[in-house]
Amino acid sequence: MMQAGIILSTLIQNFRFTQDKPLPQPIMTMTVRPDPGIFLKIEAVT
């Protein structure tokens, strides 16, 4: 689990994440999940 935190902090330092279209809509099942998923634009930070 510690590795996940290290990887996430490295990604946040080196990349910028912004939400892309289409916007997610919640679907009620046993758990709430977005449909059709969450799309992100990833840009390298220079």
DSSP string, 6-41: HHHHHHHHHEEEEE-SSPPEEEESSSEEEES---EE
| Predicted model pTM | 0.58
Torsion from C-alpha of 4, 8, 14, 19, nearest 10 degrees: 140
pLDDT at 24 over 90: no
For residue 29, what are the domain limits?
2-44
- Count of domains observed in the chain: 1
pLDDT category of residue 42 using cuts at 50, 70 and 90: very high
Task: Please tell me the distance from the alpha carbon of residue 36 to that of residue 27, in angstroms, as a whole number.
Answer: 9
Q: Give the pLDDT score at 28.
A: 80
Counting DSSP H helices and E strands in the chain, the numbers are 1, 4
